[in-house]
């Protein structure tokens, strides 16, 4: 519970402080990792997959620039989790086999010195993508989805899903919190549009 709160506080503090710095003048800090738990496969994995694929589509192809004139950083690894210190099962990861950049979140860390998420042991730039707090009521459900790249780029959203023709689809999404840099942010699709 405390780890989950640290995640949300980091997003909130980064967003409120502007330019990705906390009130103390540096990137938000994360609590040391506790033992990682692996979620058991369950009926909610269908919902989690729909939200996770939307997160990958929306944020997985973004590039960040630290400032004007600096080269953009492309996210090469997507760190998949079901909340702080909860890895998805192997069965869930098999659902994402077509997304070659996806790894379990425990294989990534927040690099406080560099201020970004990195895959271990390579150090390649990465991004946390989490789906958590899944609740269902008949043919309607809710889940929270979030991404965290650094203190300058993080977002948490509430997804409302509906079951239509035996499939879960996203009916709506609402931003809960956001941290955004003043530095240019672009998707790979838009940056390649002129190529």
Determine the pLDDT at residue 132: 93
Tokens of 195: 């190529």
Domain range enclosing 44: 2-192
DSSP 105-138: GGGEEEETTTTEEEETTT--EEEEEEEEEEEEET
Determine the pLDDT at residue 51: 94
Determine the pLDDT at residue 115: 75
Determine the pLDDT at residue 63: 67
In the chain (195 residues long), the average pLDDT of successive 10-residue segments reads: 43 39 31 62 90 88 62 79 89 93 91 80 88 94 90 86 92 89 41 38
Specify the number of domains making up the chain.
Answer: 1
145: buried, middle or exposed (CB in 10 Å: 19+, 13-18, 0-12)? buried
Helix, strand, coil distribution of the chain in percent, nearest 5: 25, 40, 35
Contact 162/171 with Cβ under 8 angstroms?
yes
CA atoms of 97 and 81, how far apart (whole Å): 15
Determine the pLDDT at residue 92: 95
Helix (H) or strand (E) holding 87: strand 86-87
CA atoms of 70 and 183, how far apart (whole Å): 10
Q: Would the CA dihedral through 181, 64, 173, 177 be positive or negative?
A: negative
pTM above 0.75, yes or no: no
Determine the pLDDT at residue 68: 60
Tell me which residue has tokens 């973004």: 62
Determine the pLDDT at residue 122: 87
């Amino acid at each position: 519970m405390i780890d989950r709160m640290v995640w949300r506080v980091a997003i909130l503090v980064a967003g409120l402080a502007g330019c990705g710095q906390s009130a103390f003048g540096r990137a938000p800090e994360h609590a040391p990792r506790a033992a990682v738990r692996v979620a058991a496969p369950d009926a909610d994995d269908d919902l989690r997959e729909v939200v996770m694929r939307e997160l990958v589509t929306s944020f997985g192809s973004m590039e960040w620039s630290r400032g004007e004139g600096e080269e953009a950083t492309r996210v090469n690894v997507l760190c998949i989790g079901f909340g702080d210190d909860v890895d998805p099962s192997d069965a869930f990861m098999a659902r994402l086999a077509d997304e070659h950049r996806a790894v379990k979140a425990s294989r990534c860390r927040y690099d406080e010195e560099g201020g970004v998420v990195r895959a271990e042991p390579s150090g390649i730039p990465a991004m946390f993508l989490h789906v958590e707090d899944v609740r269902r009521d008949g043919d309607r459900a809710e889940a929270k989805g979030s991404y965290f790249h650094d203190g300058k780029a993080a977002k948490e959203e509430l997804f409302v899903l509906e079951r239509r023709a035996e499939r879960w689809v996203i009916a709506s999404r609402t931003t809960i919190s956001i941290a955004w840099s003043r530095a240019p942010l672009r998707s790979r699709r838009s940056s390649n549009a002129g190529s």
